[in-house]
Amino acid sequence: MQLIPCPWCGPREEAEFHYGGQAHVAYPEDPSALTDEEWAQYVFFRENPSGPFAERWSHSAGCRRWFNAVRDTRSHDLLAVYRAGEPMPEVLS
């Protein structure tokens, strides 16, 4: 079981959290103006790196707040956690 450091509550067991996939994917400002190709990219295509990945987590069985993390997908090491709305910290890979 991984310990995930919630930026509000501190380290808690992974089972308290819900995964939200890639972070910083903004909803299109004018969805009806998108081409099919752009809409497909927004809906279906995400980064899937082997290495550091900025992603969303929700502390669903704790404070119930969403936050972002940079995690290395190879080692599962959490390199940084930060609150929603904060910029992604510089993280060395």
Partner 1 sequence: MTSPAQPPGAHLPEHPDFLWENPEPKASYDVVIVGGGGHGLATAYYLAKVHGITNVAVLEKGWLAGGNMARNTTIIRSNYLWDESSGIYEHSLKLWEGLEEDLGYPILFDQRGVLNLAHSLQDVRDSVRRVNANRLNGIDAEWVDPAGVKEICPIVNVSPDVRYPVLGATYQPRAGIAKHDYVAWGYARAAHAMGVDLIQNCEVTGLETAGGRITAVQTSRGRIAAGKVALCAAGHSSVLAKMAGIRLPLASHPLQALVSELLEPVHPTVVMSNAVHVYVSQAHKGELVMGAGIDSYNGYGQRGSFHIIEQQMSAALELFPVFARAHLLRTWAGIVDVSPDASPIVGLTPVGGLYLNCGWGTGGFKATPGVGDCFAHTIAHDKPHPFNEPFTLERFTTGALVDEHGAAAVAH
Using CB under 8 A, which of the segments 24-32, 60-68, 71-79, 82-90 binds partner 1? 71-79
The DSSP element (H or E) to which 40 belongs, if any, is helix 36-44
> Is the Cβ of residue 43 or residue 84 nearer to partner 1 in the bound state?
43
* Cβ pair 68, 52 in contact under 8 A: no
Total length of the chain: 93
Q: Of Zn ion, partner 1, none, which one does residue 76 interact with (CB within 5 to 8 Å by kind)?
A: partner 1
* Cβ pair 81, 59 in contact under 8 A: no
**What is the closest distance, in whole angstroms, from the C-beta atom of residue 72 to partner 1 in the complex?**
9
- Tell whether residue 53 is a contact of partner 1 (CB under 8 A): yes
Instruction: Record the tokens describing residue 24, joined without a space.
Output: 């910083």
Using CB under 8 A, which of the segments 16-24, 26-34, 59-67, 85-93 binds partner 1? 16-24
